[in-house]
Structure 1
Amino acid sequence: MSLPLSRPAFAAVVSLCALALLACARPEPAPAPVRAVRTLTVTGGVAGSRHEFAAEVKARVESRLGFRVGGKIVKRPVDLGDSVKAGQVLAQLDPGDLRLGEDSARAALSSAQASFELAAADFKRYQELLAQGFISAAELERRDATLKAAQATLDQARAQSAVQGNQAGYASLRADAGGVITAVEAEPGQVVAAGASVVRLAHDGPRDAVFSVPEDKLALVRALEGRAGAVKVQPWGSNELLPATVREIAAATDVATRTFLVKADVGSAAVKLGQTAAVIVETPKLGSVIKLPLGALVELGGKTSVWLLDTATMTVKAQSVEASGAEGNVVIVTAGLVPGQEVVTAGVHVLTPGQKVKRFVEAVPPVPPAASAVTH
C-alpha cells in the first residue's frame, strides 16, 4: 500500500514531468534568411548587332604555275609584285636536253617516212606483177602487210616528234592569264621536277575579301550567303563601305584556329591585293525586345526563366522567357516579359519560389574627416 505524497513532493514531481516534456518537444525551425539581390527594371527597346571580322583582299583565281617538264632553271625574268600579261615568259629551263630529244624524234620520223615510201613503191610493183601472172596473190598480201606496218611506224614517229616538239616548248613557263606575281618559289640555278611550283599568279578580275568566322557566328554568316550586298567591306584606312556578297563558306573548320574560312565577293572594286580590310556583318533590327544581363537567366524545369520581384510582398516568382540571341554579356529577350517588371539580375541560383528577398544596397565608404589646419 503506497503512502500518499505530501504537497511539496507532489509539486516537485509535476515540475520534473513538465521539464521532461519540454526537453522532448521539437524546436521551432529558424526563419528562412532574407537574401539580398540585385534587380533591374525592364524597359523595351530595339536590338541589332554589328560584327566585324579582319579580312585580306585576295584574287578570285590564284594559280601556282610550274614547268610541265623537269630541268634546271636558267632565268626568271619576273619578281614578286610584277604585273604580267597573258603569254609572257615567267621562267626558262635549260633547253639543251629537250632539243636533243626533239632532234632524235625528228630523225626517227624521217626514217619512218623513208621506210613507208619504200614499202608503198614495192606494193605498187607487186600489184603489176600479180596482174601479169608472175607472182601469187599470197605474195601481194605479204607486201600489203609490210606497207601497213610501215604506215603505223610512220604515224607513231610523227606523234612522237610532235610530243618532243611540245616538250621543247615547255622549257618556257608562260603566264596563262594576266595578273600579278604574288609569290616566287624557285630561283635560277635550281633544278625542279615537273609540276613543281615556280611562281604564284593572281589573275586579274574579281577580288574576294577572305576572313575567318568562329563557330558561334557561322549560322549568322551562312544566312547571308548568296545575298547581294549583304555584308560590307571597309578597306584599311578608308571610311568607304563596299558592298560584298558571301559566295563561299568552308565546310570544315581550320584544325589550328577552329574557325571557318569565308570568301566575300567585292567584284571589281578599287582594292589592292593583300590589302587589309574589315568585313562588317549587321543583324536585322528587332523591335519591342528587352535586354537583360546574362546572369539574370536561370534554367528551371528545362525552360529558360528569370526571377520576378513582387514589390508588394518582397518575394520572388519564376517567369519563363524566350531569348533570341546574345550581344556579349547581354541577352535579348523577345517574349515573356513586359516593360516595368523588376527582374533579379544577381543571386538567381540560390532563390526559391516565394522566397523573401531584399534589394542589395552598396555600402558607402565613410568619408575621412578633414585634416585640421595647423597654425604656426
Structure 2
Amino acid sequence: MNYETTVRSEQAEYVGDSIETAGETQSKRKWIIAGLVLLGLIVAIAVAYMLVSSGAESADDREEQAAAITVISPGQATIDGEIVANGTLAARRELPVGVAGEGGRVVSVPVDAGDWVRAGQVLAVVDRSVQNQQVASAQASIAVAQADANLAQANLDRALQLVERGFISKADVDRLTATRDAAAARVKVSQAQARELSARNARLSIVAPASGLVLERSVEPGQVVSAGSGALFRIAKGGEMEMMARLSEMDLAKISTGVSATVVPTGSEKKFSGQIWQVSPTIDAQDRQGTARIALPYAPELRPGGFASATIASGTIVAPMLPESAILTDAQGNYVYIVDGDNKVVRRAVTTGLVTNDGIAIIDGLDGAEKVVLRAGGFLTPGETVDPRPINASEG
C-alpha cells in the first residue's frame, strides 16, 4: 500500500512539473510572436518613410533637372510684303514680219538675228526683174497718153479760134472738148497704174515696221516666199523685254500695275528692276493661276523664251515674325510650342504668311506676347516642364 502511494505521488509531481513547463513555453512563444509583429511594423514604417523621402527627393531632382529651353517673345513687326514667282521671258511687243506683197525669189537678206534695225530698214529683198519691166511699160503708157492729151488740147485750141470766124460749129467744139478730156483722163489712168506697180515693187522689199531687235530670222537667199509663207522675221519693238510671271489667284489679288519687281534670269546672278505693266484679267481654269507681265529694259542676259524668277512687292503687314527654327510642321499643319505660366509646354497651331530674310510672318495663332520655343521643339512634348530662358527678338 505504501509503495503504490509513493509511486502515485511521484507521478503527480512529474505531471505537475510538465504542465508548468508547457505553460511557460506558450507564454514565451506569445512574446516572441508579438516582438516579431512589432519589429515588422517598425520595418514597414521605416520603408514607407524612405519611399516617401525618396519620392520627394526625386521630384525635387526633376524640378532641378528641367530642360533649359530658349524662348522668344516675337512681338509685332511691320513686314514688307513680297511675292516670289516664276515665269518666262519674252519680248514685250513682238512684231512678226512677213511678205506684204506678191512675193517671189529672195535675192538678199542683209540682217540677222541679234541685229538692231530701224523703222523702214530693208530686211530682205525679193527679185523684181519682171516687175521692173511692168513699171517701164506703165511709164511708156503715160507718155503715149500724155501725147494724145496734148494733141487733143491743140485741136481744141484751133477750133475755138475758128468758131469766132464761123468756120466751126458749136457741136464740133463740144466733140473736140470731149476728146481732150478723155485724153487727159487716160493720162491719169496711166499714171495711177504706174504708181500702183511702183508700190507693188516697193512691197517686194521686206522692211522693219519699227525700230527694235531682230529676235528670229527664218529666210535665206534663193528661197521663194509669198504671202502664205508666214513670219520671216520676229522683232522686239524697241528691244523691250518682259517677264510673264505666273501667280495664284490670292497673290494676283495683292498686286496692281506700277508695282516694282526684281527679276533674276536662270543661270545668272544679275538682278533686273522692272514694273508690272499688265495684270491678267483672267485665270487659267486648269491650274488656277494668272499672269503678271513685268516690263524690263533690254539686256543681253534677258533672252526671250528663257526662265526667270521674280520678287514682287506686295505692300506691308503687321504681324509677329519668327525664325524658321521655331516653326514645326506635321500632318495637322504648322505649329509652335509655347511655354505657359507654369513653365509647361503647350502646342499652338499657327498660320504662316510672308517669308523674308528676317524670318516668317505669323498671320494667325499668335499675338506676339507668347513665350515661343526657339529651337529644339521637335524634342519636346506637350505638358512637359521646362526651364525657359528668354532672349530678345533681335537676337533670335
User: Normalising TM by the smaller chain, what interval?
Assistant: 0.5 to 0.7
**Paired residue for 2:126?**
93
**Paired residue for 2:25?**
none
1:190 aligns with 2:220: no
Contact 1:68–1:194, Cα closer than 8 Å, also in 2: no
Contact 1:57–1:277, Cα closer than 8 Å, also in 2: yes
1:114 aligns with 2:147: yes
1:267 aligns with 2:301: no
2:102 to 67, 70, 73: 70
Which letter maps to 1:129?
A: L
Specify the SS of the correspondent of 1:283.
strand
Separation (CA, whole Å) in 2 of partners of 1:213 and 1:80: 35
TM-aligned CA deviation for residue 265 of structure 1: 2.1
Structure 1 stretches lacking a partner, 5+ long: 1-40, 298-309, 313-320, 343-358, 363-376
Separation (CA, whole Å) in 2 of partners of 1:84 and 1:220: 38
Judging by fraction of residues, say which structure has more helix: 2
Q: Which structure has the greater CA radius of gyration?
A: 2
Tell me the TM-score normalized by structure 2. 0.57
1:148 to 181, 189, 194: 181
Contact 1:112–1:157, Cα closer than 8 Å, also in 2: yes
1:215 aligns with 2:249: yes
TM-aligned CA deviation for residue 360 of structure 1: 6.5
TM-aligned CA deviation for residue 161 of structure 1: 0.5
Which letter maps to 2:214?
A: I
TM-aligned CA deviation for residue 326 of structure 1: 7.7
Separation (CA, whole Å) in 2 of partners of 1:258 and 1:105: 62
Specify the SS of the correspondent of 2:274.
strand
Specify the SS of the correspondent of 2:315.
coil
**Paired residue for 1:139?**
172
Specify the SS of the correspondent of 1:67.
coil
Specify the SS of the correspondent of 2:206.
strand
1:249 aligns with 2:262: no
Tell me the TM-score normalized by structure 1. 0.60
**Paired residue for 1:283?**
314
Contact 2:320–2:361, Cα closer than 8 Å, also in 1: no
Which letter maps to 1:286?
A: I
> Superposed, which structure 2 residues align to 1:275-314 within 5 Å?
276-289=307-320
Residue identity (%): 23
Moved more, 45-54 or 331-340: 331-340
Q: Structure 1 residues 240 and 331, CA, compared in 2 at 3 Å: closer, same or farther?
A: closer
Separation (CA, whole Å) in 2 of partners of 1:256 and 1:102: 57
Q: Structure 1 residues 253 and 97, CA, compared in 2 at 3 Å: closer, same or farther?
A: farther
Contact 1:95–1:171, Cα closer than 8 Å, also in 2: yes
Structure 2 stretches lacking a partner, 5+ long: 1-71, 335-339, 343-349, 373-380, 385-396
Q: Structure 1 residues 193 and 206, CA, compared in 2 at 3 Å: closer, same or farther?
A: closer
Separation (CA, whole Å) in 2 of partners of 1:335 and 1:115: 98
Separation (CA, whole Å) in 2 of partners of 1:120 and 1:256: 76
Aligned length: 285
